[in-house]
Structure 1
Amino acid sequence: MDLGYSDILDGLRASGRFRQLKPLSGRDGCRLNVTADRALLNLSSNDYLGIAGNREHVEFFYSGLNRENSLESFRLGSTSSRLLSGDCEQMHLLEKELAEAYGFEAALFFNSGYHANIGILPALLGKHDLILTDKLNHASIHDGIRLCRATYKRYRHCDYAHLEKLIQQHRDTYQRVVIITESVFSMDGDVADLSELVRIKEKYDCLLYLDEAHAVGVWGQTGLGKAQEFGVLDKIDLLVGPFGKACASMGAFVLSNAEIHDYLVNTSRSLIFTTALPPVIASWNLYVFRLIQQMGNERKHLIELSVQLRESLLEYGLRTAGSTNIVPVVIGENKATVSAANSLQEDGYLIFPVRPPTVPEGTARFRLSLTADMQWTDLAPLAARIAKAVGPLHRAGAER
């Protein structure tokens, strides 16, 4: 039976956008052993603090396993939703510590950042509300917005004059207005101006919804994210923090007041109608959350690496941007990006091409993701290798 998808798939192949799943194994720190004698430097991981690839952390965590706690703290299946029999004491302890550390009244844990964003927004917002979202927010945020009955408008990326103009035009028409932004943007490595967003939200009586997916663990004095670094934690109305990146696990929390917490427990479909995460994940998350608050040296080292790599890329005329440990290298054309990625993998670097629709048309790129278990000796040759792989036509300032 011809279902009509083959032509579309052929088109994806022809345009350099076809994607395939690629199983990888042999993780060892910041490297993946693709063969017995060949390891690639993993520049495509969100393991920003190097926890997932650290055998000592994993072994220490499991050293606490014994016959008495194997089912309570290390059980591999919850077998039910949290509102039935799938809840556990470890998850409540984790939520309590999260709320206390951040200074919020309550925390609620979801199965993933995607579950959080598609579950929170439709539950809280309806046809009398307006959402104003940064154009480059993550797909999970946009999908959550689409599930809402609320009206939404996108403001230009980090363009707060445009945001303020939209609020001035529409604020009086809606009951609630919610500004949604990420703190660190995942494809450009740039940062939202949280101080300016707080000013705008207070001036116009809006709510501020902040997704700290790529900031938790990496930024802030104790790794609580950009809101901590900016000193505005007490000004954020809803703060989402996924555990699948620097925290080397899975799940995501939302911090809020007690009223919103209780309302979400009773109305958020992605929380109510899904099997809960197992106790072993809650236990690991609690271990990691306590750990990241002590990793100031790793955070400092990671940012130093990021500065060095950006400077090196610019020296070779490559197009980069941002100010975080997510370092983009914009190439432009899809097929050239795919070809260069393949070449770099042959050189020992695990780099994948990022293409539309993940990024805007004409901006296919590498997304170099640095982790704290890397050293500068690992990265020093990289800019020269990329410049060679992409060729002169895809460097900054080159004539087309």
Structure 2
Amino acid sequence: MEQREMENSNQDRREVLKSILIRELGKIKNSGIQENRNAIATGDKVASSKYSEKQVTDEIVQIISELLKIPKDELKIDTELNKYGIDSMGQVSLLRRINNTFSIEVEVEEIIGLSSIREISSFIYETLKSSGHKIEDTRSSNNSKSIINDKVSDTKDSIDGFFGSITSREDEEIEDFQDFIQNRSKILFRTSKVKPVFLTEDGESLINFSNYDYLGYSGHPEVIKASQEALDKYGLGSAATPLVGGMLTLHKEFQKELVDFFGKKDTAVTLFSSGFSACSGTISGYMKEGDHVVLDAYMHASSVDGAIFSKANVHYFMHNNMEDLEDVLKGIDNGKNRILVCTEGCFSADGDYGDIKGVVRVSKKYGAKVFVDEAHSMLLTGENGRGVCADQGVLDDVDLLIGTLSKTFSGIGGFLLAKKSISNYIDYSARNHMFSGTLPAAIVGGVFASFKLASGKDGDIKRKKLMENARYLKSLYKDKVMLANTKTWIVPVIIGDEQKTIEVSNYLKEKGVYAPILVYPAAPKGAGRLRHFITSEHTKDQLQKAAGLVIEAAEKFGCSLKNKGEVVVMSDM
């Protein structure tokens, strides 16, 4: 029984994109609705079935059972769906099946606030009644949509409530937000370089798990020297956009080295001013209205925004679930419009690898292009750090590869590696490339030096130390606190309750440890956690001290493994 509960818990899906997605889903053409409309138009579905309330519930239980591979008798209709692995994006996959089963056109935002099978069944039952389907009315009339209103009536209990569609001419919600955020988040200002220990403006010394300078090159003497030399030669800024005089010979040299490093034939690199811009610009520049963007449910906000801005049809598949991906692709492949399937090398909030090999296999079957964001994995895994795509043996099959220059490259910026014709097209079609200033020479000089170090023997040494540090920290936490199931250098410690997570974080800062937190809506309710970005530069003494304090805090606030019944575990982290 305990093993079954653990398996169910391990299927639980995080909702790190929920705050963005709930706001934006109304702008997106829901794939399930479109598929259902097509089916109705072609006569594939007949809306004349007669459903009782129990039959509706049974159908939905069957759908969820097939979706999650959980036996029907283990599904409880009043249990919150996120306990079974259905988060806000899982509900998109669920809705697609519901619409097809019942031949209805429910919008995703109509069910996003429903938390259990009973609530969804009641809503679908009422929808069938109101849409003229034949039903067996076995209960008194009740407006299920009031459930949604009850769910969202108190919008100010989380940060998500301040960024909805309702605004005030007098900026009331903005003023309320100041009080809300003041008690929950304090920005730390460093007074030193990025290091495993940094000083704040208040003079505090904190062991730092917040930075993703994974190999520690941001302060390396060779990197600083290269940046200074580029600054002296070219000046502070580019003073122009890439297409009208902003590109330097230094940019050209860096682009060539990147192409040579990955060794893909007939490819080129497009440079962006940030990693965020690289993702959003590439997707929005490549995809157009009528096309289809298919996103892993855990994709970073930059990719989500790019999909939305492209005006293409946007779809989601459950995280690393190839059966669900194939189900989506089957419904949208018309042999004409472009399809782009998007995933990541390492998912940053959870620390798990993307199943890129699986994505490539399924996507190519339906003629789809593959987009991979390797922001948190580039230069950290694979031969010489060529990334997860190379490590999984599918680098040549990935059409659009994204790297960021703010992580292991230790600077700022991003890049796209793609076929020359596509890279050239993105140069002109990505608005945030065309209309943004070119990367400054000082940045390019520095990241170029970091790249040379990281892709050589020095990088091999540091990558080995990075993984040793990650394994060591996990060993210290074993059987003491709840860890996510990560194999990478990102180590989340599950705390659970949001308020406890904040209290643990504040306690740790007082004791000299800074490990940023993720709480709702960046994580499901009841699944707050501390996130450790491990670097090659952390020492064993620092890791040991930090682990001891985290364990101490977990015991103090009742969220160690001794209290594991109070903790919600997330999936595949």
Normalised to the residue count of structure 2, the TM-score between the two structures is 0.65
CA shift, 1:156, in A, is 0.9
| Contact 2:224 2:446 survives alignment (8 Å) | no
1:248 aligns with 2:414: no
1:182 aligns with 2:339: no
Instruction: Identify which range, 34-43 or 97-106, moves more after superposition.
Output: 34-43
| Contact 1:177 1:206 survives alignment (8 Å) | yes
1:100 aligns with 2:100: no
| Mapped partners of 2:497, 2:222: distance in 1 | 41
CA shift, 1:282, in A, is 1.6
Query: What SS is found at the alignment partner of 1:83?
Result: helix
Taking only aligned residues, the RMSD between alpha carbons, in angstroms, comes to: 2.2
1:22 aligns with 2:188: yes
1:87 aligns with 2:247: yes
Unaligned runs of 5+ in 1: none
| Contact 1:32 1:41 survives alignment (8 Å) | yes
Task: Give the direction of change, closer, same or farther, for the CA distance of 1:360–1:143 in structure 2 (3 Å limit).
Answer: farther
Query: What SS is found at the alignment partner of 1:213?
Result: coil
| Mapped partners of 2:496, 2:237: distance in 1 | 44
Unaligned runs of 5+ in 2: 1-168, 567-573
| Contact 1:130 1:174 survives alignment (8 Å) | no
Query: What SS is found at the alignment partner of 1:70?
Result: helix
The match for 1:390 is 554
The match for 1:114 is 276
Letter in 1 for 2:257: E
The match for 2:226 is 61
1:348 aligns with 2:515: no
Query: What SS is found at the alignment partner of 1:175?
Result: coil
| Mapped partners of 2:201, 2:246: distance in 1 | 40
One of 530, 533, 537 as aligned partner of 1:369: 533
The match for 1:124 is 286
One of 373, 380, 383 as aligned partner of 1:221: 383
CA shift, 1:130, in A, is 1.0
1:284 aligns with 2:284: no
| Mapped partners of 2:310, 2:202: distance in 1 | 50
| Contact 1:76 1:279 survives alignment (8 Å) | yes
Determine which structure has the larger helix proportion and give its number: 2
Query: What SS is found at the alignment partner of 1:22?
Result: coil
Instruction: Report matched runs for 1:200-239 at 5 Å.
Output: 200-239=362-401
| Contact 2:343 2:356 survives alignment (8 Å) | no
| Mapped partners of 1:314, 1:161: distance in 2 | 33
| Mapped partners of 2:325, 2:200: distance in 1 | 46
Letter in 2 for 1:135: A
| Mapped partners of 1:333, 1:346: distance in 2 | 20
Instruction: Identify which range, 242-251 or 172-181, moves more after superposition.
Output: 172-181
Query: What SS is found at the alignment partner of 2:347?
Result: coil
Post-superposition CA distance 1:256-309 (Å, at most 9, x none) = 001101111121100011111111212222211111101101101111111121
| Mapped partners of 2:194, 2:216: distance in 1 | 10
Query: What SS is found at the alignment partner of 2:478?
Result: helix
Letter in 2 for 1:287: A
Rg bigger for which structure? 2
| Contact 1:90 1:279 survives alignment (8 Å) | yes
| Mapped partners of 1:114, 1:319: distance in 2 | 28
The match for 1:339 is 503
| Mapped partners of 1:90, 1:42: distance in 2 | 33
Instruction: Identify which range, 382-391 or 341-350, moves more after superposition.
Output: 382-391
Larger relative CO (CA 8 A, sep 6+): 1 or 2? 1
Query: What SS is found at the alignment partner of 2:495?
Result: strand
Post-superposition CA distance 1:81-117 (Å, at most 9, x none) = 1111211111111111111111231111000111112
Instruction: Report matched runs for 1:294-333 at 5 Å.
Output: 294=456, 295-333=459-497
1:133 aligns with 2:295: yes
The count of corresponding residues between Structure 1 and Structure 2 is 392
Query: What SS is found at the alignment partner of 2:244?
Result: coil
Post-superposition CA distance 1:346-392 (Å, at most 9, x none) = 22212222223333333221110111011222212333321221336
| Contact 1:337 1:366 survives alignment (8 Å) | yes
| Mapped partners of 1:174, 1:364: distance in 2 | 43
Query: What SS is found at the alignment partner of 1:27?
Result: coil
| Contact 2:194 2:218 survives alignment (8 Å) | no
CA shift, 1:80, in A, is 1.2
| Contact 2:346 2:353 survives alignment (8 Å) | yes
CA shift, 1:128, in A, is 2.2
Normalised to the residue count of structure 1, the TM-score between the two structures is 0.91
Post-superposition CA distance 1:190-246 (Å, at most 9, x none) = 001222122112222211100000001211121121112122211110000001011
CA shift, 1:125, in A, is 0.8
The match for 2:545 is 381
Query: What SS is found at the alignment partner of 1:398?
Result: helix
CA shift, 1:21, in A, is 3.1
| Contact 1:189 1:323 survives alignment (8 Å) | yes
CA shift, 1:59, in A, is 4.4
CA shift, 1:121, in A, is 1.1
